[in-house]
Chains A and B, each alone.
Chain A
Amino acid sequence: MLIRRSPLIVLLSLEIMLNGANLALIAFSRHYGQGDGQIFALAVMAVAASEVVVGLGLIVAIARRRLDLDVDKLSTLRG
């Protein structure tokens, strides 16, 4: 995630990380026999979906303004 410069790839890598946390939650929920880990995994899934919506909306808005889709160049909040 730190190497590729396209914000799309950054969002994909974020999804992988969130899925990793989900896997740990569900594995330990099974290990201790309680359903709470699965509930929290569902909440994480909802938050990840929301964040993808907002992130993709940002990317589309940036592309519509004909700016470079490059996270190194998009480092200020101006414009």
Chain B
Amino acid sequence: MIVASAANVLVWMVWVVAAFACLGTGIAVVSFSNPFYSALSLIGNLASLAVMYLLLSAEFVAAAQVLVYAGAVMVMFLFVIAYLGGRADAPWHGGPSWQTVGAVAAAAALFVEVVVVIGLKTGGRLSSSADIESSFGRPYEIGRLFLTDQLLTFEITSIVLLVAAVGGVILGSHSRDTPIAETEQ
């Protein structure tokens, strides 16, 4: 609804398809019992989000989403699911417990609260968005912001990625002195 103006039916149709795909695949992620299907649903979720980013004139972020999230993170997930094989999902425990019912009720209450608060607080101000110049969302603008106004974000992100890479290597290395089942002689 953000981009839909009075006469732009095509934009509205694309938005409806992308939004419902997003919601449906999101629910599918937690509903499938096979974790492989859950990961595939998440890939669909990320792709529909990328379409919505394109509708919001965020072209660089949409491309980064497909490359980084769907291309790298989800491939990692699929590798780990393939490695784990049958151990990837814990056996289903029985019917919904009080924990389950409480969780669903809390989520529904939170959702209703968010919608009501946004509706009350913004009034009619969300219907008109600012005019943007042609470089909005382009790599030039992102790069310019990263190197001038948001330099701190840039540097901190690189440090976070370095720390995560080092941590990943350490977690993945076989340690010779802890007894693991298959290395006992």
Contact = CB atoms under 8 A, between A and B. Distances in A.
Q: Which of A2, A15, A35 counts the most B-chain CB atoms under 10 A from its CB?
A: A35
Interface size class of chain A, counting residues whose CB lies under 8 Å from the partner chain: 35 or more
Given A40-B153, A49-B72, A53-B76, A27 B56 contact: yes
Contact of A35 (B42, B46, B72, B145): B145
B164 A64 contact: no
B2 A16 contact: no
A42 to B, nearest CB: 6
Given A9-B38, A23-B52, A33-B129, A39 B142 contact: yes
A46 B146 contact: no
Given A13-B30, A50-B163, A38 B153 contact: no
Interface in A14-64: 15-16, 19, 22-23, 26-27, 29-33, 35-36, 38-43, 45-54, 56-61, 63-64
Interface in B57-116: 57-58, 60-61, 64-65, 68-69, 72-73, 76-77, 80-81, 83-84, 87-90, 93, 96, 99-100, 103
B88 A6 contact: yes
Contacts of A38: 58, 60-61, 137, 142
Interface in B8-56: 26, 29-30, 35, 38-39, 42, 45-46, 49, 52-53, 56
A64 to B, nearest CB: 6
B89 A9 contact: yes
Nearest to B103: A2
A31 B126 CA distance: 8
A16 B44 CA distance: 11
A2 B104 CA distance: 9
B123 interface: no
A16 B23 CA distance: 10
B14 to A, nearest CB: 15
8 contacts: A5-B93, A26-B56, A36-B145, A42-B61, A42-B64, A54-B164, A69-B88, A70-B90
Interface of A: 1-6, 8-9, 11-13, 15-16, 19, 22-23, 26-27, 29-33, 35-36, 38-43, 45-54, 56-61, 63-66, 68-70
